[in-house]
Each structure stands twice: as C-alpha cells, then as structure tokens.
Structure 1
C-alpha cells in the first residue's frame, strides 16, 4: 500500500468512527499514528478540526457545517434523553477515572442536575416508567461508547422497577467524549453563538471560513445542496480539480474514497 493509500484509509477511519481505540483496533490505530502529521495538518487547515491523540485512542473532533437531525444519537428517542445524557456527563466530570458509582447515587444526583426550571420541562420523577426508561437508554449508550462499564448488577432492571441497582466504573474515555469549546459554555447564549465561534465568520465569503464550511459539509454530509449553499461555495468547488489540495487528495477524491468505503462494489 502506498503512502497516499495509507492516508486515504486513515482519513476514512477517522471520519467513519467516533474514535479509534488502540485496544480494539490496534492495526487501525497504528495506521493513523503513521499518518498522524499529515492528517493533523490536513484536518486543521481544511476543516478547522482537531485530531486528538492519546496512548489509548485517536479522535477527530468532527464539527458539522450545519447540524442536521440525522447527526443525533440513534438510540435516543426524545429530548429528555439528551438532557439526561448532558446531566450524566456532568455527573461523570466529578468522578475520577476508574472510580465506581452506584446507579442509585447517580439517580439522586440527576434529580439535582436536571433543568427543572426550563419551560415545558416536566420534573424528573423516577416513579415514572418513561423517565426510568430514558435513563436506561443513556446508560446503555454510555456503556456502548466505552464511557463507563458495568461492574455488577443490571442497569436494564431499573426500567422495570425503581429499586433496580447496578455498579459502574468510569473510564478514561469519559474525559474526552465531549468536544472542547473556545471559551466557557456559559458565555454562549444560543446555538447560533456556538456556531459563530467555529465558522471564522470574518472570512466567511472568501477566506478560511468558506473553505472550512465547504470541507465540513462534504466530508460529513457528502453533499452540497444548491438550494441551501451560498453561491460563492459552488464557485469555489468548480475551481477545484484533482491536482489540488493535500497530496492530490482533493474534495472529490476524498468523497469517492468515503463512498467506496461505505458502498463497495
């Protein structure tokens, strides 16, 4: 395999996976490590994305040009699931790596963390089956994402009865699941403010902002809709060719690489 093919494969791995774990995917981890300098420079220059490296994993912080509904967590069914997950992550922030906690202690903490003051938000009540079921979905997702692991008990039983108990342990990955922001989240008052902090708006029409926006859109959504995109974005795309970009990895060659990895003939 040539260096360029290695880079293509490593790029696809980072785009297709939330993270690449060394313990579970040692060959893929080592491939990314060999290509790390080129990948790091490419993703930051073209997309404004950070490539995180740890002895246990690689993670590309993939920030979309425009958030879409399909980018959510498939296992979650309603806004309450996301609210509980955010509170759960706040709970984990107070725990050390490898620290253990009981499900009953988590439930008590979530009652204090949950945003009861928000409009149209019903008060969290563990006597309510739907509320318990939502927490079970959150725990199942966290376990599947390797943020926690089950030490003893059965978290699923909590959905059936409030007295269900389980013991969990916090993993190192819980420290890296949430992406970082340029400043404290409390300084943002809307989703639009969060997006503006990432899009280099002062250069949105002609400079880095435009390039970042286009690359993010194509690499994550693999499509650029004429009805939604800015006219200058299509002008930029038309001027690109296979001989430009990073070691001949243009927008189009990257797109075809990802398309093949998802739909091989």
Structure 2
C-alpha cells in the first residue's frame, strides 16, 4: 500500500474510533448541537454501525437529512445511576412526576409538526385526567416547573425547538406564548427499548430482546459476546464476581480474549485487567459522560472525601453523614446549597451515589465498603 493509502487508512481508523467513543458518551448526536461529531459519524457510519452491531448487538440509526444519529443502547440491566436530569436546579434527577409527564408529553407531541406550550399543556391536562393519572394542573407553579423541565429536556435533545418565545417563561406566566417545531421521528427515537411499552406489564418484558430467545448454542454464544462487551463499554468497572459463569469463561478463553481486545482496539481504548475485574480506559476521555475525580460539583468533592474515609475501613451511612457534616463545618462558605436542615445527609447521599455509580463503593444494609477499583484514587505517602 502506498504512503497515501496508509495515511487514509490510518485516518479512517482514527475517525471510526472517535465516532464509536462519541456515541458511547452521547447516544444521540444532532447536527445542530454537535455538528462536527455528527458529520464524522455520518461519514463513517458504515464501519461504526457494523462495530456496534457485531460487538454489542446495538443498532445505530443515522439520518443525514434529519440531522441526527441515534445509538440504541439496549440493556437487560437498567441503570438507576444515570437518570434523566433537569437543565435547571443544578442538574437534579427527574422524579416520578417528571418521568410521567415526559411520557405523556412525548405521546402528545406526535399529533403534529408544530404546537404551542398552552395547547400542549391543555392536552397533557386532558390526557392525565382521562387516563386516571394524577391530573396535570398548570395553575400550580410546581406542576409548571415539572412541565418546563420536561420540555427543556426534549429541547436539549432536539425533539422540540422553540421558534417564538422561551420555555422558561411558562414558569411565571401560565398564559405564556411559546411556539414549537416538533421532530416527531426524533421523539420516537428517544425510547431505546426493543419492545413497545404499551404491550408489556413490567420492566423485564420491556427490555427483553427476542433475538436471544433461541436456546441454541449459537444464540447463547451471541448473547455472551454482546453482554460482555456491553458491560465493558458502558460500565466504569466490571467486577468478575458480577459476571455469570458463561461470561467469565468467555473472557478467559483465547478466542474471547482476542475478540474483546480487537473490539477495544478498534474503539481506540485499552483494557486494564486485574484479579478483581476489568476497566476500559479511554485516554482521551471521549467516551466518558462524566468524570471522577473532578471538582465541577460539590457532590464530587464530597465523594472524594468519603472515599478517603472508607480507605480506613468500612463505615455506616450515618458515619459518612457525620464526616460530611464536619466538612461543611470546616468550610462554612462552601456548598451553600447544602446548608439547610438535612444538608449534610443530602450531600453524603449525593457523594455516595457517585461512588456507587463509578463502582467504587457498595452499600449493604446501611454498611458502606470500598471496592477494589477505589485503589486507583488512593493517596500515597511519600518517603525519603
């Protein structure tokens, strides 16, 4: 191959690897929000689509004219540590009310290519009343706040776009005039499940993938391969004791190890293997949706302090609240959002939630223990 051919091949492999990692961090890429990322995925969509299908069993839909790429990251292990979050209120997670309104709003948005905030609110009020849900009452500020959070979430993902007025104006003025353009196709793409919700009664059935229902050896092997790669690319840490016997056998086999390292290499990452488990490392942090350690939030700072406390032995949740309370006392001008009654408990909960999400701590019956991956963040003493 000529020098030019080698350079082109190297460029393609680098762009494919970058596209894979970008989609792992942001399964929905839009041309409006991330033009460069979307353009890369659009150009390299064939090898990227094949990678996700072969190694993970995930489908990638790239719509060049509509301006979005959607990776459907199906899983049989719904992750409560990655909720939908509000664009306001410091990124607080959606509560039950907001999830309910999100589902109803999405259903109502399918009615046409355009709507107004008042018309949409009235339709949501009617639907919640008819369907026997807690009725939506736009005269209440807390209800309008939840409604606005839902619309801002959809707005962020490109499903709706205000063309006249601002969504936030509805908070203080229930009669606010806001006109939206609706992308109904993108609304339907937001839901990443293999089974229509209206046809099932439980979450287990919602996430069931029929392609693995065949009890043949080939189908079992396919599921093992896909389930292992899904865990490695999607979880911060994969511990051996959390894997099934088949998954551990796959990772221990020469063919399985070769396949995993090939997949990881194409994605531009490296695989760290320890006695306790595995960590997929992206040195460029492209595939990372959130970082730790990091000082961009009070919860992350508290999480690092709590992790250091757990380095001295297991602790109860009450012990960690006391540790957090001392932290707030030592720095009276810090973390003002946690200064109200119960603030120490809330900060400890938020910090502990981060440690659990990153696979660094485990809670069993109120007892908190540090997991092996936490050793990466241990403070080492320097000796002469």
Correspondence for 1:68: 79
What secondary structure does 1:68 align onto? coil
Say if 1:179 and 1:258 are closer, same or farther in 2 by CA, change over 3 A.
Answer: farther
Q: Cα offset for 1:91? A: 0.9
Correspondence for 1:80: 97
Correspondence for 1:46: 55
Q: Cα offset for 1:186? A: 2.3
Q: CA offsets, 1:83-139, max 9 Å, x none?
A: 11111111111112xx2x221111110012227756xx5332222221111001111
Correspondence for 2:143: 131
Q: 1:191 aligns with which of 183, 189, 203?
A: 203
Residues 1:141 and 2:150 aligned together? no
TM-score calculated relative to the size of structure 2? 0.59
Contact 1:242-1:253 at 8 Å conserved across structures: no
Separation of aligned partners in 1, 2:80 and 2:198 = 24
Q: Which runs of 5+ in 1 are unaligned?
A: none
Q: 1:256 aligns with which of 253, 267, 281?
A: 281
Q: Which runs of 5+ in 2 are unaligned?
A: 1-6, 87-92, 272-279, 292-384
Residues 1:58 and 2:69 aligned together? yes
Contact 2:195-2:207 at 8 Å conserved across structures: no
Contact 1:116-1:124 at 8 Å conserved across structures: no
Q: Cα offset for 1:226? A: 3.5
Q: CA offsets, 1:39-77, max 9 Å, x none?
A: 211211221111111111222111234111122112143
TM-score calculated relative to the size of structure 1? 0.82
What secondary structure does 2:249 align onto? helix
What secondary structure does 2:179 align onto? strand
Residues 1:210 and 2:235 aligned together? no
What secondary structure does 1:192 align onto? helix
The CA RMSD over aligned residues, in Å, is 3.1
More displaced 10-residue stretch of structure 1: 5-14 or 23-32: 23-32
Separation of aligned partners in 2, 1:247 and 1:160 = 50
What secondary structure does 2:239 align onto? coil
Say if 1:79 and 1:183 are closer, same or farther in 2 by CA, change over 3 A.
Answer: closer
TM alignment of 1:165-184, pairs within 5 A: 165-171=177-183, 174-179=186-191, 182=194, 184=196
Residues 1:241 and 2:257 aligned together? yes
Residues 1:37 and 2:46 aligned together? yes
TM alignment of 1:103-114, pairs within 5 A: 103-114=117-128
Contact 2:195-2:205 at 8 Å conserved across structures: no
Q: Cα offset for 1:198? A: 5.6
Correspondence for 1:7: 16
Number of aligned pairs?
259
Correspondence for 2:332: none
Correspondence for 1:28: 37
Residues 1:160 and 2:172 aligned together? yes
What secondary structure does 2:52 align onto? helix
Contact 1:43-1:51 at 8 Å conserved across structures: yes
More displaced 10-residue stretch of structure 1: 213-222 or 133-142: 213-222
Q: Cα offset for 1:232? A: 2.0
Q: Cα offset for 1:140? A: 1.4
